[in-house]
């Protein structure tokens, strides 16, 4: 028995704020917002974050941010797996070649952008070293010459690539599309505050 695959018409028809009434959806959105709230606090108050890390006897605020960001990503990944598996088995992307190609291309481009950002900036650049008193080179080459905020664009493309690859009808009906749109919006907001604050 094949599992239904991603369909753009269902994407549009199930985009609804009605999905925000379900407690598990609100929990999902809360967990996905954690890094963005955390990054905002550090971005607008880097000296406060540095003082906070020093009160914990931690000397490198960039390392603290990098390590906590990794833990938060694990929490987010766990939440996504939990939510999606609570609403049915993940679909098999091999059931539909268009789904496989579209989702695969989004995921691949997203990961290329993310890996390129990490390789280009290094830990200090990715984890706000310039705000936390660490030396960071200014980079204008790839991937920064392709799209604004390539790390966030890469993250959003990865989210949507995985969603397209594995979402099923019951997950769409439970609010997967609405949740992913809101999660993607978190990245947009983070990019805006990093650019303008």
Residues 193 and 154: their CA atoms lie apart, in Å, by 18
d(CA 134, CA 144): 20
CB atoms within 10 A of CB 161: 21
> How does pLDDT run along the chain (197 residues), one tens digit per residue?
455 566 667 666 667 778 888 999 999 999 999 999 999 999 999 999 999 999 999 999 999 999 999 999 999 999 999 999 999 888 888 888 999 999 999 999 999 999 999 999 999 999 999 999 999 988 999 999 999 999 999 999 999 999 999 999 899 889 999 999 999 999 999 999 999 99
Give which of 35, 44, 22 is closest to 66, Cα–Cα. Answer: 35
Give the integer Cα–Cα distance in Å for 162 and 136: 32
Which residues lie closer than 8 Å to 65 by C-beta, 6 or more apart?
42, 49, 127, 128, 132
Return the DSSP state at 134: -
pLDDT value for 93 = 82
- For residues 110 and 118, what is the distance between their CA atoms, to the nearest angstrom? 13
Separation of alpha carbons 183 and 177, rounded Å: 10
């Amino acid at each position: 028995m094949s599992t239904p695959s991603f369909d753009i018409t269902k994407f549009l028809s199930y985009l609804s704020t009605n999905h925000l009434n379900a407690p598990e959806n609100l929990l999902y959105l809360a967990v996905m917002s954690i890094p963005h709230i955390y990054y905002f606090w550090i971005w607008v108050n880097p000296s406060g974050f540095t003082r906070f890390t020093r009160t914990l006897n931690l000397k490198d605020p960039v390392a603290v941010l990098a390590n906590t960001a990794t833990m938060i990503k694990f929490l987010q990944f766990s939440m996504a797996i939990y939510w999606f598996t609570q609403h049915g088995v993940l679909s098999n992307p091999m059931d539909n070649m268009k789904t496989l190609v579209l989702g695969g291309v989004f995921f691949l481009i997203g990961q290329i952008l993310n890996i390129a950002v990490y390789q280009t900036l290094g830990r200090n650049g990715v984890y706000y070293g310039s705000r936390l008193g660490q030396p960071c080179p200014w980079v204008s080459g790839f991937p920064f010459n392709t799209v604004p905020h390539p790390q966030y664009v890469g993250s959003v493309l990865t989210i949507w690539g995985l969603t397209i690859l594995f979402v099923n009808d019951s997950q769409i009906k439970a609010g997967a599309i609405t949740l992913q749109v809101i999660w993607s919006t978190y990245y947009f907001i983070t990019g805006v505050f990093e650019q303008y604050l």
